[in-house]
Homo-oligomer: A and B are copies of this chain.
Amino acid sequence: MYVVKSPLADADLKTVSEALQGALVDLVDLSLVAKQVHWNVVGPRFRSVHLQLDEVVGSARTHSDTVAERASALGVPPDGRAASVASGSGIATAPAGWIKDTDAVGTMVDALGAVIVRMRERMNATGEADPVSQDIFIGIIADLEKHHWMFQAEHA
């Protein structure tokens, strides 16, 4: 059906679109995991962690929108459906039920760490093929590493 005349050559387009699709799935899952913990956290640091997690949710939602619209702009339809997220995400499944504040922080350190590793691979893979997409990954990493640092600092 519909075809956007992509400004990229075919091989470059393949590289970039795989990176964008992978990032989309990770970021949507990150927003769901952070919300899950936001609702289930308990313990003396409840309020502080509860608020901090909503900032992660906000970041993840904004970045997933940017990534999906970039894919569309290059002519590749993005896939952010629940089943695709559940099967393709790089984040380990979060535990069910109430979660102590200490464990909540640990869960987020792991989740962010896993996403950052994969996002850096995408940044390296796309620099040649499309500097515009790479620039988007760079911005996302800077933001995720800042969140990562904060949860690590609290975990010290």
What is the oligomeric copy number? 12
Q: What residues on B are CB-neighbors of A78 within 8 Å?
A: 36, 39-40
With contact pairs A1-B98, A33-B81 given, residues A120 and B153 touching in the complex (Cβ less than 8 Å): no
| Besides A5-B113, A32-B81, A47-B49, 8 other A-B contacts (C-beta < 8 A) | A7-B120, A32-B82, A33-B81, A36-B81, A46-B154, A50-B150, A70-B146, A72-B153
23 contacts between A and B (CB under 8 A): A1-B42, A1-B98, A1-B156, A2-B156, A5-B113, A5-B152, A7-B116, A7-B120, A28-B32, A36-B79, A39-B68, A39-B71, A42-B153, A42-B154, A42-B156, A44-B156, A45-B45, A69-B149, A73-B145, A77-B97, A82-B82, A86-B86, A132-B145
